[in-house]
Amino acid sequence: MLISNNLEQIQDEIRQKVTEYVRMEQTCQKQNTEIKTLRDRNRSYEDELVELRKFMDKLKKDLGVCKEENSSLEQENSRLKSSFIRLEHDLDARREQEKILIQQISQNDHLVQQLQDDLRNELNKQQECQKVIACLKQNISDLANEKELSEKTIKELANKV
């Protein structure tokens, strides 16, 4: 009985050990599977990390290009602002010149109006003078005719006397 008890005890221990071994084997397989999964994930993460580093390098390059473009644009903006300010000053100067020219034109228009009025007056005077000259020529012609008649009459009278 002792042997039988011992044997049963040993068999129980062996069963427990086998069960424990099977359980440990299953746990080991699960852990190996998890390790494999973790290694795959790790490779995937490393690949993703490599891609992210490449992407980050590309972004750094793009940032450098953007900074250069921004610098160029800022220089262009500064140049355009300077040109704009210069053009505003030129425009202000031209507006002043325009005001002066408008005043001069106004004065010249007034002067032209005066000269036109003077010309009209002079033309009227000239017409009056031409009328007077025409009248005087007519009077001279009439007087010349009268003189001829007078001279004829004097000659006739002198011839009769």
Tell me, yes or no, whether 144 lies in a domain: no
Q: What one-character DSSP code corresponds to residue 1?
A: -
pLDDT higher than 90, residue 160: no
Tell me, yes or no, whether 30 lies in a domain: yes
- Average the pLDDT over 76-102 and give the result: 96
pTM of the model: 0.44
pLDDT higher than 90, residue 78: yes
Whose structure tokens read 């921004």? 70
Q: How far apart are CA 39 and CA 97, in angstroms?
A: 84
Tell me, yes or no, whether 134 lies in a domain: no
Tell me, yes or no, whether 19 lies in a domain: yes
Tell me, yes or no, whether 25 lies in a domain: yes
Q: Higher pLDDT residue, 6 or 137?
A: 137
Q: Higher pLDDT residue, 75 or 8?
A: 75
Tell me, yes or no, whether 156 lies in a domain: no
Q: Which of 101, 81, 82 has its CA nearest to residue 93?
A: 101
Q: What one-character DSSP code corresponds to residue 161?
A: -
Query: What are 109-152's pLDDT values in tens digits?
Result: 999 999 999 999 999 999 999 999 999 999 999 888 988 888 88
Q: How many domains does the chain have?
A: 1
Q: Can you give the residue range of the structural domain that contains 100?
A: 1-120
- Average the pLDDT over 83-112 and give the result: 96
Q: What are phi and psi of 150, to 5 degrees?
A: -65, -40
Tell me, yes or no, whether 152 lies in a domain: no
pLDDT higher than 90, residue 80: yes
Q: Can you give the pLDDT at residue 2? A: 67
Q: How far apart are CA 13 and CA 39, in angstroms?
A: 37
Q: How far apart are CA 87 and CA 80, in angstroms?
A: 10
Q: Can you give the pLDDT at residue 42? A: 93
Query: What are 16-75's pLDDT values in tens digits?
Result: 899 998 999 999 999 999 999 999 999 999 999 999 999 999 999 999 999 999 999 999
Tell me, yes or no, whether 55 lies in a domain: yes
Q: How far apart are CA 45 and CA 39, in angstroms?
A: 9
